[in-house]
Structure 1
Amino acid sequence: MTQLPSSILDDAALIQVLDALEAGGARAWLVGGAIRNALLDEPVSDIDIATDALPETVVALAQAAGLRAVPTGIDHGTVTLIAEGRGFEVTTLRRDVATDGRHAVVAFSTDLAEDAARRDFTINALYADRAGRVLDPVGGLPDLAARRLRFVGDPDTRIREDYLRILRFFRFFAQYGHEAQPLALEACARLRDGLTRIAPERVGAEMRKLLAARAPGASVALMARTGVLDLILPGANPQGLDALVAAEHAQDVAPDWLRRLAALVPGDPTAALRLSRNESRHLTRLREAAGAGWSLDEAGYRLKADEALDHALLHHAGTLPPDWRARLDRAQASPLPIRAADLPGLSGPALGQALRAAEGAWIASGFTLPVPALIDAAMNAAPTARETP
């Protein structure tokens, strides 16, 4: 019998929740991601719980134990119980009655196997009792050991229940997989048009998580092979992503999903993924810097710190000097030491051209040119500006 690490089960807040549920005779199991990650020795964040108690019973048991119950998805059987300031999603065992490719109508159940049969992937359909004994109704343990991603049951059926599962397949493969079920890939390719029914916000949420994985390249390559990538991000360039990930690893820079999106998609993915205004502005700045061909120093001078770092990795990875981070820091901390008041007699376009010339000289000097030399560079550019009508 496979056992969970004791560190998971020694969680005082979790024990309070399990005690509350079992005090009324209900059964409760840890389920899903916490089991998967614990067995893979990956970080465990949220702990979800399955129970045979009905949602209203869960609320009553929690209140009797002095725990706060929040009906976060009570129509679908989910109540969040708060213990020691942390939330635990407690969901009644259930089976699907009807699905439309986005939402499901469920019926509550007391059968663990029924609950497992409606889940997406075998590695997410693992349960554990409070003694740490892992229950595996659909054969997820061998898949987990092989890091093999496989749908529960028939892939076509699972995907038609919720087309977002196509993207979830590639996201989980990026995070946990070494081997992808061939039947699953064929189903993802065959049913990919169903993704057009999914809201951009949901697509964007999955792509954020996928691109944040340590090494998403193999998963993105599978997306390209199945036609899924071009459907959601037309013109995407997996080779650009591979080059960036290699640069991140070589330079010991933490992964950043938005930087990776910039490498993957040369155009504007704002609408396709429903990016925030700040995210869209960040990508626009990176495209502008790339189009202008800015050097490392110029990018450091003109961009915000995170934008400059992204530009360096995206467009200078092959030529980054050993001190590239220090150079970016120096550029960030080196504003032009002259102002309009230092250029008497200039205004309008002439002043603008003069200051731009001074900035160019300042950047080209590595931010070391003395103020008199900067003023000379500015004034030497001014006559051309004065001649402009």
Structure 2
Amino acid sequence: MGVINDALIKLTRMLLNQPAIQTLFKVLKPFDARLVGGCVRDSLLGLKSIDIDVAVAAPPEQISQHLRQQGIKVIPTGIEFGTITAVIHHQGFQITSLRQDVKTDGRHAQVSFGTDWVEDAKRRDFTMNALSLDAQGTLYDYFEGEADLKAGIIRFIGDADQRIREDYLRILRYYRFLAYFGKGDPAPIPALHNLRVGLKQLSVERVQQEILKLLAAPHPEQALALMQNDDIFQVLYDQPVDLSFLQRLFEIERMWKLTPEPLRRLWALFQSKASGFYETYFRISHTQLGFLKQMNLWIKKTDRRWVLYKQGYGFFESWCVLKDDLNPDHIRANLEWAKTQPPLIFPLKGQDLLSQGIPAGPEMGRLLACCEQWWVENDFNPDQQECLAYCGTIRDF
């Protein structure tokens, strides 16, 4: 039985009043449909969700046919598991039929479709993720998930051992949700440690996604410490990790009110690991891998001017807090200095030298490189004319 009151209506209004969601409920009116999972949880916390998931008490083929008849674009993203994607107002909504697990192997599940909301909720991972909300703002909470959410308790639905064996990714999801929503000291869950070897069954992509999301949390310290105590890192990366440097980084980030940056934290977790390590245990983008490679290179440099000029302020901020053994005084001086610098654009180009009669070729390249070095060492102050004059003084050397 659902609950609706003024307090709930106020909390969920931001979610239910979105035009695309109102359209979605309108076209799904012939069915028993509800918003489920993270978007409901987040709305109760006053947070905005990017991903909107919907559950419907009807088979996926029937839902797909109905939506297409209503002129809605449908993508069969996982129709064999009961999931389709409906595109409304240029926004994708995952719509999943109510289901029960027939067979699970720790990675995938065979499911049957049904109409029982309680049975569908039982197959979810945590009580706070089993909440559902209908178009009228009625909240359905079969496992006291709202109370757990308020108390900051990450509680498995039913038996933790069984839930984890259904999908070993739930081990990592537990730590991630603890990082975002946990309060106080969590009760021990032996299954997290006892079943950790099951993580070996997961794809690199699924593991990476959870780790980076966890590292993006405002305060992941407790979750990471529990992961270390439960020997999770040993299973994931075939080696233990030392959290001391990362824990000090968290303190510096709070001191300077820095936005959590998962790649900076990832580098601090593994400290100067070669790119081969990340290529083995992660499937990050070329840009992300480039950040880690560049940090390995630039962390050894001492001239802050070159770091700021070549890499920009965002990278410089991370370099700054990772450099000098997290010395607060050095960090303060470097950040304050960087914020006073104007846009750093070398004022001399090859065309400028051509206009001075210097032909394109190795000599021009040497002059530009030498002048750029001189410009940086003079704190980016020389203008174009001064740079040209300097090139004239070194042209014959």
Please state which band the TM-score falls in when normalised by the shorter chain.
0.7 to 0.9
User: Mean alpha-carbon deviation: is it higher for 224-233 or for 132-141?
Assistant: 224-233
- For 1:306, the equivalent position in structure 2 comes to 314
What is the TM-score when the length of structure 2 is the normalising length?
0.82
- For 1:323, the equivalent position in structure 2 comes to 336
Distance 1:262 1:223, change over 3 A: same
Contact 1:173–1:180 at 8 Å: present in 2 too?
no
Give how far 1:157 is off: 1.0
Alignment of 1:137-176 (within 5 A): 137-176=142-181
- For 1:110, the equivalent position in structure 2 comes to 115
Contact 1:102–1:161 at 8 Å: present in 2 too?
yes
AA matched with 1:119: R
Contact 2:313–2:338 at 8 Å: present in 1 too?
no
- How far, CA to CA, are the matches of 1:28 and 1:115 in structure 2? 13
Contact 1:300–1:329 at 8 Å: present in 2 too?
no
Aligned match for 1:83, one of 67, 88, 94: 88
Contact 1:72–1:78 at 8 Å: present in 2 too?
yes
Q: Structure 1 unaligned segments of length 5 or more: list them.
A: 383-389
Aligned match for 1:64, one of 48, 69, 73: 69
- For 1:387, the equivalent position in structure 2 comes to none
Matched, 1:214 2:218: yes
Give SS of 1:22's match. coil
Distance 1:333 1:77, change over 3 A: same
AA matched with 1:82: V
Report Cα offsets for 1:13-64 as digits up to 9, x if no partner. 22222232232xx211111111100001111222211111111111122133
Aligned match for 2:296, one of 287, 290, 295: 287
- How far, CA to CA, are the matches of 1:154 and 1:205 in structure 2? 25
Aligned match for 1:297, one of 305, 316, 328: 305
- How far, CA to CA, are the matches of 2:163 and 2:147 in structure 1? 20
- For 1:226, the equivalent position in structure 2 comes to 230
- How far, CA to CA, are the matches of 1:104 and 1:180 in structure 2? 33
- How far, CA to CA, are the matches of 1:38 and 1:192 in structure 2? 32
Distance 1:327 1:299, change over 3 A: farther
AA matched with 2:315: E
Give how far 1:278 is off: 2.3
- How far, CA to CA, are the matches of 1:138 and 1:378 in structure 2? 77
How many pairs align? 371
- For 1:10, the equivalent position in structure 2 comes to 17
Report Cα offsets for 1:132-166 as digits up to 9, x if no partner. 11111122111111011111111111111111111
User: Mean alpha-carbon deviation: is it higher for 273-282 or for 206-215?
Assistant: 273-282
Identity across aligned pairs (percent)? 33
- How far, CA to CA, are the matches of 1:32 and 1:144 in structure 2? 12
Distance 1:376 1:189, change over 3 A: farther
Aligned match for 2:136, one of 128, 131, 134: 131
User: Mean alpha-carbon deviation: is it higher for 251-260 or for 130-139?
Assistant: 251-260
Contact 2:14–2:43 at 8 Å: present in 1 too?
no
Contact 2:204–2:283 at 8 Å: present in 1 too?
yes
Give how far 1:87 is off: 1.9
- How far, CA to CA, are the matches of 2:286 and 2:377 in structure 1? 33
Report Cα offsets for 1:177-200 as digits up to 9, x if no partner. 22465343x211111111111111
